[in-house]
Amino acid sequence: MLSLNVDAVTVRYPGLSSPVLDVPSLFIAPGSRVVITGASGSGKSTLVNIMTGLERVRDGYVRWGDTDIAVLSERARDRWRGMNIGLFMQDFHLFPGLSAFDNVMLPARLSRAAKKDDEIRAKSLLHEVGLQRPEQSVETMSRGEMQRVAIARALLRRPSILIADEPTASLDTDSADAVAHLLLALSLAEGSTLIVVSHDPRLTRQLDRCLTLVAGRIASDSSVEGKVA
C-alpha cells in the first residue's frame, strides 16, 4: 500500500500571474478515502493530473511510496500508472470500434496479464453498473453508458489506488448509486486509497477526508461534515 506525498508543487501557465495549483505539502495515508472539492477552475483536475502523472510536475515532488513520479519519463509514468492506479477521468478514454466488454478488458490485455477471472469480473462489473449489453460497441452508447464502461474498466484489476474525476456526474439516480456503491465497496474490500473529485453527497458524505481547493490552494482539509458512521 502506497502513501502519497506532494511537496512544493506549483503549476503555472504562460500569461497567468498566479499558479493554477500551489500545494506546499499534502500527505495522503494508504487506504484513505478522500474527496476533492472546489469551484469550477479551482484546480481539482490539475491536482488529479499531477497525482496520476498525467501532467508532469516541473517544480516539486509527487511521491507514491518511494517512487517520485515527477522524475519519471512519460513512458515510465504511463507504466507506473497502469500498474498502480485505477483511473476514471471525465473524458473516459474509451476506444471506439470496441465493445463495452473489450474496452474494460483492454488494459489487462495490453499488459498481457488478462486472466479468465478478469473476463468474469468484467462481465460482472458491467452488470453491476447497470449495462445489460456487454457486446454493444461503445460509440453507439450514450454518455452515461460510456461513463459506466469507464468505471468498470477502472475497477477491473482491484487497484490499490483509485482516482476518479466526477464519477457520478451525468448519471441517473440508480446508476449514480450503483457507481458510488462500487467505488466505496471496492476501496473498503481491498483497502484501496480512494481519491474522488465530486460534489455528489452520495459519495462525499461517506468519505473520510475532504480537501477544498480555492484558486489552486488547499483552503481546507477536514473530515466531511455529516459523514455516515
Ligand X SMILES: Nc1ncnc2c1ncn2[C@@H]1O[C@H](COP(=O)(O)OP(=O)(O)OP(=O)(O)O)[C@@H](O)[C@H]1O
Residues that bind ligand X (CB under 6 A): 13, 20, 38, 40-46
- CB of residue 41 to ligand X, shortest distance in Å: 4
Decide whether 6 or 186 has the Cβ nearer to ligand X.
Answer: 6
Query: Which long-range contacts link 65-70 to residues 24+ away (Cβ below 8 Å)?
Result: 65/2, 65/3, 67/2
Determine contact, residues 90/46, Cβ cutoff 8 Å: no
CB within 8 Å of 87: residues ≥ 6 apart: 52, 81, 154, 163, 164
- In angstroms, give the least distance from the CB of 13 to ligand X: 4
**Of 22 and 145, which has the nearer Cβ to ligand X?**
22
Would you say 42 or 175 has its CB closer to ligand X?
42
Kind and range of the H or E element at 35? strand 33-38
- Per the rule left: phi > 0, alpha: psi between -120 and 50, beta: everything else, 215 is left
CB of 44 to ligand X, least distance (A): 4
In angstroms, what is the minimal distance from the CB of 214 to ligand X? 10
Pick 42 or 193: Cβ nearer ligand X: 42
Kindly state the smallest distance separating residue 54's Cβ from ligand X, in Å.
12
Q: Are 174 and 189 in contact (CB under 8 A)?
A: no
Query: What does each C-alpha distance from 21 to 43, 89, 93, 171, 220 come to in angstroms?
Result: 6, 19, 24, 29, 15
* Grid coordinates of 176: 449514480
Nearer to ligand X, 13 or 17 (CB): 13
